[in-house]
Amino acid sequence: MRALVLGAGMMGRAVAYDLARAGGVEGVVLGDVSLKVAREAARWAGPGKVRPVKVDVSRADMVRRLMSAGFDVAVGAVSYRFNVALAREAIRAGVGFCDLGGNNTVVERELAMDRAARFAGVTVVPDCGLAPGMVQPVAIRALELLGGRADELRIRVGGLPLHPRPPLNYKLVFSPEGLVNEYHEKAVALRDGRRVELQCLTELEELDFPAPFGRLEAFVTSGGASTLPATLKGKVRDLDYKTIRYPGHCAIMRGVLWLGLGDTAPVRVGPVRLAPRELLLELLRRRLTDTDEDAVLMRVTARRGNRSVRFQMIDLGDPGRGITAMMRTTAFPAATVAWMVGAGRIRLKGALPQEVCVPAQEFLDRIAARGIRVDKIES
């Protein structure tokens, strides 16, 4: 199998790292707009097995030539705004494709390519990171253990610093663009069996995790449930997704966005016109980037009558290898799905959500082999 990874940032290089060590993978090509970055990432990810190339994903001609170079699968590890074009080029080239997703509208446009992907005989799977991503097979496995239906399905996920610093008690563990998108856009859920939209940064709740985390908070955010509400409508009565943070974070971010700092429409400040979101993104990069280690927490709970199933994960990363918890739990699941597509383990063709095409237990077994433990802690 030959794999192509587009984007050599933190997630892209971790995808390449994982694929380079997967069985049956002959080679990985890692592309980035900066050849220097691609070379550095390739040396880190797998000297001799990961080859760097320069590619500008905003240029369809460059992507088309690269996609046509005999790959079995390609992974988009760049901003979600490029995913529609990348999926389209993958279909044209007859290459399986998956990406890290994170935006509901973009995913809808990718899934609308289902007929074209089936005609081309390829599999396109968007939203293959953490949440959206890994939570989908975990949720499906929880439902399977309850006979395929549930009264409630609650998904709680968060990336946290191990040593939080006030006032936000947070550090950037993935792109600030994705973070603000999660806080600012509408969230999709199921309530009494109906699809509804929820306002982000609402419905605050408390939950407890083992030390050193203790009492935490969770609140509605966008994108994490992805296609689950649509797929599971008629099978689950109430479904929602919330992000986990240290206490107090939600209230602060609610105030920040109330001021309009998440807005994309430019405003005039003296002689300058600037989108408030661009200013917020730059300030987040400056204030919330540090060397503290991170952790990723996940809890998926399904209930049917008086029966319940709960899966939980606490991942602390691999500091010795320079792999953060967010890299492991975002990039390794994406690489796992990519490997399953390239190896033919996912047999369905078309543009499909994970919960429809990825065998849940096989997926969990494969990420467990990578040291990502998702434990069934209650039933």
The pLDDT, as a whole number, for residue 209 is 96
What distance in Å separates the CA atoms of residue 139 and residue 239, rounded to the nearest whole number? 10
Question: Once rounded to an integer, what is the mean pLDDT over residues 256-264?
Answer: 93
| Spatial distance between the Cα atoms of 205 and 154, rounded to a whole number of angstroms | 12
Residue 77 pLDDT greater than 80, yes or no: yes
Q: What is the pLDDT of residue 103?
A: 81
Distance CA 83, CA 178 (A): 14
pLDDT reading at 101 higher than 90 = no
Mean pLDDT of 113-120: 97
Long-range contacts of 21-26 (CB under 8 A, 24+ apart): 21/46, 22/335, 22/339, 24/343, 25/1, 25/49, 25/339, 25/342, 26/1, 26/2
Confidence check: pLDDT of 36 > 70: yes
pLDDT in the model for residue 342: 96
pLDDT at residue 315 tops 70: yes
The 10s digit of each residue's pLDDT in 321-363 is 889 999 999 999 999 999 999 999 999 999 999 999 999 999 9
pLDDT band at 63 (very low <50, low <70, confident <90, very high): very high
Share of the chain above pLDDT 70, in %: 99
Give pLDDT, residue 185: 86
Q: What is the mean pLDDT of residues 272-279?
A: 93
Q: Poorest-confidence range of 90-94, 127-131, 258-262, 319-323? A: 319-323
- DSSP per-residue letters across 130-171: BTTBTHHHHHHHHHHHTTS-EEEEEEEEEEEESS--TTTT--
- DSSP per-residue string spanning 180-201: HHHHHS-EEEEETTEEEEE-TT
Tell me what pLDDT residue 378 has. Answer: 66
Q: What are phi and psi of 348, to 5 degrees?
A: -65, 140
pLDDT the model gives residue 178? 79
Give the mean model confidence (pLDDT) for residues 231-245.
97
The distance of Cα 99 from the centroid of its chain, to the nearest Å, equals 8
pLDDT at 164 over 80: yes
Domains and CATH numbers, the chain: 2-130+329-368 (3.40.50.720), 135-324+373-378 (3.30.360.10)
The lowest-confidence range among 58-67, 149-158, 351-360, 370-379 is 370-379
pLDDT per residue as tens digits for the range 192-237:
999 999 999 999 999 999 999 999 999 999 989 999 999 999 999 9
How many Å apart are CA 104 and CA 167, to the nearest integer? 30
Look up residue 237 and give its two tokens: 């009565």
Band the pLDDT of 172: cuts 50, 70, 90: confident
For residue 268, what pLDDT band results from cuts at 50, 70 and 90? very high
Q: Which residue has the higher pLDDT, 242 or 322?
A: 242
DSSP code for 330: H
Tell me phi and psi for residue 207, to 5 degrees: -150, 160
For the residues 350-377, what does the mean pLDDT come to? Answer: 95
The amino acid that residue 96 corresponds to is: G
How high is the pLDDT of residue 379? 58
Rounded average pLDDT over 305-323: 93
What is the predicted pLDDT for the residue at 289?
A: 83
105: Cβ contacts below 8 Å, ≥ 6 apart: none
Mean of pLDDT values over 123-130: 96
Average pLDDT, the chain: 94
Note the helical H segments in the chain: 10-20, 35-45, 60-67, 83-93, 104-111, 114-120, 135-145, 176-184, 228-232, 249-258, 276-287, 325-342, 354-357, 360-368
pLDDT of residue 177: 83
**How confident is the model over 19-27, as a mean pLDDT?**
94
The answer on pLDDT for 105 being more than 90 is no
pLDDT on residue 341: 97
SS3 90: helix
Closest by CA position to 168, among listed 260, 259, 245, 222: 245
Give the separation between CA 79 and CA 7, rounded to whole angstroms. 9
Q: How far apart are CA 103 and CA 299, in angstroms?
A: 22
CB atoms closer than 10 angstroms to residue 147? 9
Instruction: Tell me the average pLDDT across 148-153.
Output: 97
